[in-house]
Amino acid sequence: KAGVTQTPRYLIKTRGQQVTLSCSPISGHRSVSWYQQTPGQGLQFLFEYFSETQRNKGNFPGRFSGRQFSNSRSEMNVSTLELGDSALYLCASSLGRTANYGYTFGSGTRLTVV
């Protein structure tokens, strides 16, 4: 079956712009989580969506937002981009509400803010 698909793979944006990233989970998976990966910081949790509802949110400013559609696809939006937002953004999908079902990552979207 298809894995977790993230689009686009690469993005270059200018400071102050906004950006939308997309994540399509594995078929049947209802949970989508988003992480920011930067060198030295590891993976930091942004938020999780399950059945179109945000269940958890990490410690990121309100410029970072997301949503999930009825087909479980999720989008993440970052407004008023800053240079420090340059990172690899990973999404991960899971079958259910708990970690018991495993966690599969997509290949990520590499965002560069100039």
Partner 1 sequence: GENVEQHPSTLSVQEGDSAVIKCTYSDSASNYFPWYKQELGKRPQLIIDIRSNVGEKKDQRIAVTLNKTAKHFSLHITETQPEDSAVYFCAASAGGNQFYFGTGTSLTVIP
Where on the chain is the footprint of partner 1 (CB under 8 A)?
A: 4, 31, 33, 35, 40-45, 48, 50, 55-56, 58-59, 90, 92, 94, 97-100, 102-108
Q: Which two tokens stand for residue 76?
A: 């993440």
DSSP state of 25: P
| Euclidean distance between CA atoms 46 and 34, whole angstroms | 5
5-32 burial, b for 16+ CB within 10 Å, e for fewer?
Answer: ebeeeebebeeeeebebebbbbeebbbb
Tell me how far, at minimum, the Cβ of 52 lies from partner 1, in Å: 15
Please identify, using beta-carbon distances, which residue of 15 and 55 lies nearer to partner 1. Answer: 55
Please identify, using beta-carbon distances, which residue of 61 and 102 lies nearer to partner 1. Answer: 102
Tell me how far, at minimum, the Cβ of 95 lies from partner 1, in Å: 10
| Euclidean distance between CA atoms 89 and 104, whole angstroms | 14
Please identify, using beta-carbon distances, which residue of 31 and 72 lies nearer to partner 1. Answer: 31
Please identify, using beta-carbon distances, which residue of 17 and 56 lies nearer to partner 1. Answer: 56
Tell me how far, at minimum, the Cβ of 104 lies from partner 1, in Å: 8
